[in-house]
Structure 1
């Protein structure tokens, strides 16, 4: 993969459908109503362009169809925009990340070299590996793909590499048979009007090439020296004459982890069909309908406020030019002359519309259930159906669909993370003489934790049935213990259960007879009756 030529269309034409979709998914995930208006009102991706009413929005076609959505309608010109947004898309992304990485993955093997195990613990403690996994899983759910890369920056982490994330809408991947063979990352360093300064990185087998481009929003523009921006200039000391650097390892130092598959939207389209699928793909109409239902509900609340209509003669004057008012707290009223009306209406009328809270609540619940079901989750994952305590087994039964989706994602995450950690160790060994890289096997923790009472009952039943060893039972009670702690606890239990040998115990009751020491009576003498 060579660096792009000057004047290249951006994003590349083949990937434009994906980046149009990224705009939509990003708008729902970001909870930014300005982005939603920008996407659906047809004003493009420019945040500084104001969406205005146009004839095309009231006609057919793509623009007319989008304008019939809540967020595609023009904003009112003479009043506030009262549309509301419910952050269900970001809630789905966060819930998915929490279900995957509520606990960081652990090393499955007991025979992992000590230096590798120590390095993995350092990743958790010093390199924010757990937080990086949570962030990556959330972005993966929202956009469909996430990229893990190993970065060397001696100012941040001297003597080791650090893991970093690249979002799906900042990458142009080359995928073959589901595997990443090259990728182009880009980052906008400066946006000044219609001038964009982008840093482009090409990651290929054993090498990374860099270039800085100055162009427009939809065009990469011309190459400029890396010294044009300080964030690009810091790379210069480590680059060769070709404005690149050798990584020192075979293959890429990047790993892509897709969220879900298959990709329904781009099935049969080259270069796009192997991209990951986000959870909200296809449920955007439900998200828009949910916002419309909530907006209508809040409109009922505004209209349902009690308003008093009073006859003009009931108002108290503040003097010439001072206006008039109605004192509702006044206890004694002076006689007033109210002119007769045709319908004999009272001089003061209370006006209050009904608030259809039950109908709106049921509609919002139905739309939420539809979106969650289509995204692959149970409604119980996002709220308590009742206040009755439930065991872990009952929770899994209620949230079976959510756990099924979690297991599907683990199928991608487990080998993806293992490949990335192997590449990470390879890079550290090549540059810092780190531990020899090994293929690690990771275990994902349970997203539901059983109560101590449930664990104790399970352990008691297994122990009574002789269906598990002491080591297995100790690991069930203390899943966070290492091998040394487990073995020490097993030995302590065996020591406590050991029965002492009575012949080795001292004391008067166990002393042998004779030698004037008290003890049990011996056999009777010859010719003497027993008992004497």
Structure 2
């Protein structure tokens, strides 16, 4: 899609369904309960009518209010409580992919050998802490909204290099052809009363175009010069007479990184490549979790101890000020009342039951369903075996493999996009900062494994193999320390053998040779 014309609807009509979903997912991600209630059809408004003493709302909104957050708020009812499971789920997805950051290296194409300067530049741009921090931040947004856009950035006044940044899916309008990104328009907005200023940044092959529009909430309005708004004035000095910045390379300076393939939009020509959120089909279950948590918190409030006292025990606080009961008073004077002298004069304690186990079991079951749909095992959330029963070791390993499988599928998209955009960043860096090591290179992106062998289990396995004489000292050291370099392994083997009084096996090549300097001297041999 080229830069849109004046008075175009915004966002474009073809992308309106996606942006509606983005807004809903964003409300659950950020825990914006007002927005959640509004999307559920309630907006925390009072009931329109009552039936059998219960508040109800009519019309279409009433149909949507079947969700917990969509029900009308009764008079005097306390606010509902939100449990941040969606935010935790997005954080979990990001942590599993990027907490141990991927490593970017040069691909061995056989055409050119990267110089030391090129390797240093690669590490500075793509293996730095700043790049890894960007990936961690991007991972949460990608999980919640279903996609992110990776773009190279540069500013010679800020950094002497190019770096990679990201834009959220709800700030981008991409165009695809045959499943490949053709161009993308990134945007940001600033509200000025009833007017909205929007900065559009259009990435196409060979150039980046900037435009400023002043319109309404749903209409782009008229195009204005970049210098008319302080946030875009900086671009006015950088663009040419077409409001474009030529990149000098024949590649697109943006990459679309989906979280997973789209399902609901797979038949929609404009949205079929838009990506799928980890929240897909989970909104009603998030709602169930909030209902359960709110019920639990309600039990805590109702479970607070209360004391029912006779009216005669109350102390008047004066005209119009009501009455109160002194909990520290030790003596009360009995009253002569007709009938049973003890009738109605007791202090009655009231204590409701707090259903802790019932709520916990329900919430654990809901959480398990959320994790199962998102493709993660309960252990990755910090939960034990909530399925109940005794599981075999094979069953436990199969459950744990769900997390690794989901992560591996996401890594496929990441490797393709991050390696391509890393290559674009290095090529731009070579043109913008010549002589620093940048240039056009093919790259590999490798994600580390998330499997972690339990040290105790591994030590027991090595011990059993040693008892059976089925493992050497060198192999046992390598298994116990898989990340060690060969030199470190050899040094450790030598120390172990020295401490145990062992000697190295003789070299079979020189064993028994006449000129073997280590062979023992023959006492019967004639001396010279």
**Residues 138-157 of structure 1, C-alpha deviations (whole Å, 9 max, x = no match):** 11111000111001111221
Distance 1:88 1:493, change over 3 A: closer
Distance 1:68 1:214, change over 3 A: same
**Residues 8-40 of structure 1, C-alpha deviations (whole Å, 9 max, x = no match):** 111100100000010111111111212212322
Distance 1:340 1:22, change over 3 A: farther
Secondary structure at 1:16 match in 2: helix
Correspondence 1:180 to 2:178: no
Task: Output the CA distance in 2 between the equivalents of 1:394 and 1:124.
Answer: 39
Secondary structure at 1:149 match in 2: strand
Residue of structure 1 in register with 2:198 after alignment: 198
Residue of structure 1 in register with 2:62 after alignment: 64
Correspondence 1:147 to 2:149: yes
Distance 1:443 1:295, change over 3 A: same
**Structure 1 segments unaligned to the other structure (5+ residues):** 44-49, 387-391, 513-519, 524-532
Residue of structure 2 in register with 1:420 after alignment: 421
**Structure 2 segments unaligned to the other structure (5+ residues):** 50-55, 386-392, 496-503
8 Å CA contact retained: 2:41, 2:65? yes
Shift of 1:282: 1.0
Secondary structure at 2:242 match in 1: coil
Residue of structure 1 in register with 2:100 after alignment: 103
Residue of structure 2 in register with 1:303 after alignment: 302
Distance 1:218 1:109, change over 3 A: closer
Residue of structure 2 in register with 1:448 after alignment: 451
8 Å CA contact retained: 1:459, 1:473? no
Task: Output the CA distance in 1 between the equivalents of 2:492 and 2:264.
Answer: 58
Task: Output the CA distance in 2 between the equivalents of 1:340 and 1:177.
Answer: 92
**Residues 339-389 of structure 1, C-alpha deviations (whole Å, 9 max, x = no match):** 547994443222333323333222222222222212222222212317xxx
Residue of structure 2 in register with 1:528 after alignment: none
Q: 1:88 aligns with which of 85, 105, 123?
A: 85
8 Å CA contact retained: 1:184, 1:200? yes
Shift of 1:177: 2.4
8 Å CA contact retained: 1:27, 1:36? yes
Shift of 1:435: 2.9
**Residues 81-106 of structure 1, C-alpha deviations (whole Å, 9 max, x = no match):** 42011111111111111111221112
Aligned pairs (5 A) from 1:326-365: 326-338=325-337, 340=339, 344-365=343-364
Residue of structure 2 in register with 1:526 after alignment: none
Task: Output the CA distance in 2 between the equivalents of 1:241 and 1:39.
Answer: 44
**Residues 261-297 of structure 1, C-alpha deviations (whole Å, 9 max, x = no match):** 2x22112111111110011111111111111121122
Shift of 1:303: 1.9
When structure 1 is superposed on structure 2, of 416-425 and 429-438 the one drifting more is 429-438
Residue of structure 1 in register with 2:119 after alignment: 117
8 Å CA contact retained: 1:313, 1:338? no
8 Å CA contact retained: 1:101, 1:445? no
Task: Output the CA distance in 1 between the equivalents of 2:401 and 2:326.
Answer: 60
Task: Output the CA distance in 2 between the equivalents of 1:454 and 1:119.
Answer: 41
Aligned pairs (5 A) from 1:198-217: 198-217=198-217
8 Å CA contact retained: 1:314, 1:336? no
8 Å CA contact retained: 2:202, 2:210? yes
Distance 1:521 1:202, change over 3 A: closer
Q: Report the TM-score when normalising by structure 1.
A: 0.82
Distance 1:338 1:446, change over 3 A: farther
Report how many residues are paired.
Answer: 492
Correspondence 1:249 to 2:252: no
Residue of structure 2 in register with 1:6 after alignment: 6
Secondary structure at 1:235 match in 2: helix
When structure 1 is superposed on structure 2, of 179-188 and 304-313 the one drifting more is 304-313
Distance 1:110 1:416, change over 3 A: closer
Secondary structure at 1:368 match in 2: helix
Shift of 1:248: 0.9
Distance 1:3 1:132, change over 3 A: same
For the aligned residue pairs, the C-alpha RMSD in angstroms reads 3.6
8 Å CA contact retained: 1:316, 1:325? yes
When structure 1 is superposed on structure 2, of 367-376 and 346-355 the one drifting more is 346-355
Aligned pairs (5 A) from 1:126-141: 126=128, 128-141=130-143
Residue of structure 2 in register with 1:165 after alignment: 166
Task: Output the CA distance in 2 between the equivalents of 1:318 and 1:371.
Answer: 54
**Residues 196-250 of structure 1, C-alpha deviations (whole Å, 9 max, x = no match):** 1110011111111111111111111111121122221111221100111111111
Residue of structure 1 in register with 2:236 after alignment: 236
**Residues 105-155 of structure 1, C-alpha deviations (whole Å, 9 max, x = no match):** 124679673434322321366561111111122111110001110011112
8 Å CA contact retained: 2:313, 2:325? yes
